Amino acid sequence: MISKDFSLCLFIGFLSLSLFSQHKIEGYVIDQAKQEPLKAVKVYDKTEGFLSQTNASGFFSFETQKQDITLVFYAFGYQILEKTIQSNDTARLNIQLETLSEELTEVEIIAQNNKVFELQRLKDVEGTAIYAGKKTEVIQVDQSMANLATNNARQIYSQVAGLNIYQNDDAGLQLNIGGRGLNPNRTANFNVRQNGYDISADALGYPESYYTPASEGLEQIQIIRGAASLQYGTQFGGLINFKMKQPNPNKTLEIITRNTAGSYGLYTNFTSLSGTKDNWSYYTYVNYKRGDGFRPNSEYESINIFSHVGYKFNDKTKLTGEVTYMNYLAQQAGGLTDDMFAEDPFQSNRERNWFEVDWLLYNLKLSHEFSKQTNFTFSFFGLNARRSALGFRTNRVNQIDPLEERDLIESDFNNFGFEARLLSKYKIGEKNATFLIGSKLYNSDNQERQGPGSDGFGADFSFRNEEFPNYPNQSEFDLPNINVAVFGENIFYLSDKFSVTPGFRFEYIKTESDGFFKRINTDAAGNVIDNETIQDQREFERSFVLLGLGLSYKPNDNLEVYGNISENYRSVTFSDINITNPAFAVNPDITDEEGFTADMGLRGNYNNFVSYDLGVFALSYEGRIGFVQKVLEDNRIISERGNVGDALMYGVESLVDFNFKKLLSLNSNYQFNVFVNTSFINSEYTSSQQLGIEGNEVEFVPDLNLKAGFRFGYKDFAASMQYTYLSSQFTDASNSEESSLSGVIGELPEYDVLDMSLSYRYKQFKLETGINNILDEKYFTRRATGYPGPGIIPSAPQNWYATLEVKF
């Protein structure tokens, strides 16, 4: 908790906001050749980021406290212009931009974007969010040479240090990433957002991401590590925010269509429409996928629709609405034991297992600029969704399906919430400062049901309780949750080079569970000897404050030393406990996790020859939840999920990107970059009440995580190659090397993968192709505890893809 003296100082500092002298800068931007005004030209402070944008008349204005300022004017298709001005000069600026060649080469497009946008971090302040002193990474997806059609996470996130990725989905229907000892399963340890609003099933009760946006429709992926808890939630992982592409400001209609074909019957189509007319703007896409999968019994089909509509009332107020729909049906080939994987890693003995997701997201956002220093946003969001899992699963993975009734689990998610943010820039004496205050309400009313499904082969997601009344795994629960949060941060610039950013988050969480489960026992002949319905009602209410602090020192524009520390919290979900799983048991005394995350690093670039981000981190868990192997009184060995003990993960993460184009003095027709992304992590259970755990390594922590590659471009041609290596890692706190009958527990062996991509652009056409897993390695990155297993889930063998893009 904050001390009373510190709280008082912080409170006085927040309230004594006083605006000092501001210099107003305004002007017009026009096309040099046509002498016509240019709309949507972005104006940046070269050192601090976005300032303003021109309106339909080409006019822009903003206020600043700086005496001298270097402005950057950017519009797609135009030469970037830098201009240094004296801010006390009251004359209006007349900016004229020169057009680039009408047909930009691939290298020119990349070079133009890279000059304005910093790929490796977010600005101190963007919109109504503060990122000063935090470890931030930004992926420019539209510049990526990854296999976007299948959302290939191994390639897309290649320059984000320390990420651990489940690689078992060749269609990219779900994202599974973790890091620093966090379980990658459905990215549940990150707060996952789209354009700033939540998209997971239930941010507290079931924080898993069944929906992943189509990468072909993304502009950026923003990742804030560790200390994101203050603004975005309590989670240990941080934030992943998918920023969708924006409407084309210069056309009333732009059409982009992409068709992809590939191995194992892969076909995808991505078609987007975009444009701006008067005060209205829109961006929408449809993404369709289908394929047979690289294993038997693993076909899939999906459709994803996204629509964004914006209306600009004036230069200060804008309203946007978004709707996202996704549906996919996938057959699941089931998991394998280690022996089965060694015999044939792509075999399947499950043909009746199916998984379906139906996802509807909506968002309404109001943005208002009270002044050049004060911005406000209000976002209302909601989710109506369902996931259904059907099939035969047992802790003996190699058991042949007896073709009886299947286990059916169905979850319905009905959530809504709002988030309001107010950000204001001000001065304390002669020093700059930025203040953020926000609040969030999140309400969910979810239902979960488990029981007998049909005894057929198809994707029939209907319960058959009357047909199979003695099915043992039957339960039905209502899971209402409510969360109220208030958060705030303030950047204090103690000098032009050094800033301190304290922050807090108050959380109120009320989690409920109301329902029943059946306890049915049978004799050896299958006759029911006990059939009991047990009512189960629980309520868990808590409130707490999380604190954090960020530090940033920038001796010049090309170097920053940063550090931060933030408290974290993860609540136990009743939905995890209420599901009966034959692969493991749940400790009835399972409780919440607490801890903190700390980062310290050095980032920047040297003379545009090399870009770097070098850092150390520590992540501390109290009551970490995991798996242990337990021996029962009858000498049976089971896997139990519960609070294993206190754990500490710490390590070094680095990303270094060399610009050989400048090193070799190549002309503007070339692009040549080489990157090396490494993380070295140590982990240990520092204490535990479980026998044989203290001193063990923490699960999901490879000692070495390496990704390296190069990208070469000449005019309209580009090529890239990427190498990935992860050392071995454990999947349970007991550090079991040998696997169980279910294949759930055991070591994940080391693996390495090589990928290659090529692209060529000609006028409005673009051809992309590549080979993933060139060396055809047989490996796996996941031992699933439930669907799509349980057991080992193999990763994809060598596969190819080819994409044709046409732009109108």
479-493 residue pLDDT tens: 999 999 999 999 999
- Which residues, other chains included, contact 164 with Cβ-Cβ below 8 Å and sequence gap of 6+? 177, 178, 179, 182, 184, 700, 702, 705, 726, 729
Residue 269 inside a domain? The answer is: yes
One domain for residues 571 and 699 = yes
Q: How confident is the model at residue 61 (pLDDT cuts 50, 70, 90)?
A: confident
How far from the centroid of its chain's Cα atoms is residue 357's Cα? 19
One domain for residues 254 and 232 = no
**Range of weakest confidence among 403-417, 518-532, 763-777:** 518-532
pLDDT at 117: 32
CATH number at residue 206: 2.170.130.10
Q: How confident is the model at residue 662 (pLDDT cuts 50, 70, 90)?
A: confident
Across the range 139-153, mean pLDDT stands at 91
One domain for residues 407 and 363 = yes
Q: How confident is the model at residue 690 (pLDDT cuts 50, 70, 90)?
A: confident
CATH number at residue 48: 2.60.40.1120
Q: Is the pLDDT of residue 599 over 60?
A: yes
Q: Is the pLDDT of residue 460 over 80?
A: yes
**What span, in angstroms and rounded, lies between the C-alpha atoms of 695 and 691?**
11
pLDDT at 787: 82
pLDDT at 801: 97
> How far is the CA of 402 from the CAs of 350, 491, 789, in angstroms?
10, 63, 17
**What span, in angstroms and rounded, lies between the C-alpha atoms of 543 and 229?**
15
Q: Is the pLDDT of residue 3 over 60?
A: no
Q: Is the pLDDT of residue 691 over 50?
A: yes
One domain for residues 727 and 635 = yes
pLDDT at 119: 54
One domain for residues 67 and 79 = yes
| Backbone phi and psi for residue 325, each to the nearest 5 degrees, phi listed first | -130, 135
Residues 228-265 have pLDDT tens digits of 678 998 989 999 999 999 999 888 999 999 999 999 99
What domain range is 77 assigned to?
23-100
Residue 540 inside a domain? The answer is: no
Q: What is the mean pLDDT of the chain?
A: 88
Q: How confident is the model at residue 16 (pLDDT cuts 50, 70, 90)?
A: very low
Is the CB of residue 412 less than 8 Å from the CB of residue 446? Answer: yes
One domain for residues 264 and 402 = yes
Residue 4 inside a domain? The answer is: no
In single-letter form, the type of residue at position 101 comes to: S
Instruction: Count up the domains in the chain and report the number.
Output: 3
Residue 215 inside a domain? The answer is: yes
Q: Is the pLDDT of residue 9 over 70?
A: no
Across the range 55-80, mean pLDDT stands at 82
Residue 113 inside a domain? The answer is: no
Q: Is the pLDDT of residue 13 over 80?
A: no
- Domain termination site, one of 241, 257, 290: 241
Radius of gyration of the chain (CA): 27
User: Coil, strand or helix: which one is 490?
Assistant: strand
One domain for residues 90 and 152 = no
pLDDT at 76: 72
Residues 275-309 have pLDDT tens digits of 999 999 999 999 999 999 999 999 999 999 999 99
pLDDT at 390: 96
One domain for residues 259 and 233 = no
One domain for residues 260 and 234 = no
pLDDT at 738: 80
Residue 56 inside a domain? The answer is: yes
Across the range 714-727, mean pLDDT stands at 95
Across the range 509-529, mean pLDDT stands at 79
Across the range 333-360, mean pLDDT stands at 95
Is the preceding omega at residue 749 within 30 degrees of 0, hence cis? Answer: no
Q: Is the pLDDT of residue 579 over 80?
A: no
How do strand 238-244 and strand 191-194 relate by DSSP bridges? parallel
pLDDT at 17: 36
Q: Of all residues in the chain, what percent carry a pLDDT higher than 90?
A: 61
- Domain termination site, one of 224, 241, 258: 241
pLDDT at 84: 86
- Domain termination site, one of 175, 207, 241: 241
Across the range 453-477, mean pLDDT stands at 92
One domain for residues 381 and 488 = yes
Q: Is 158 left (phi over 0), alpha (psi -120 to 50) or beta?
A: alpha
pLDDT at 583: 58
pLDDT at 737: 86
**Range of weakest confidence among 110-114, 167-171, 772-776, 789-793:** 110-114
Is the preceding omega at residue 790 within 30 degrees of 0, hence cis? Answer: yes
Q: Higher-confidence residue: 712 or 52?
A: 712
**Range of weakest confidence among 40-49, 73-82, 350-359:** 40-49
One domain for residues 497 and 396 = yes
Q: Is the pLDDT of residue 6 over 80?
A: no
Residue 486 inside a domain? The answer is: yes
Q: Is the pLDDT of residue 116 over 50?
A: no
One domain for residues 343 and 483 = yes
**Range of weakest confidence among 256-270, 320-334, 486-500, 737-751:** 737-751
CATH number at residue 694: 2.40.170.20
Residue 111 inside a domain? The answer is: no
pLDDT at 83: 87
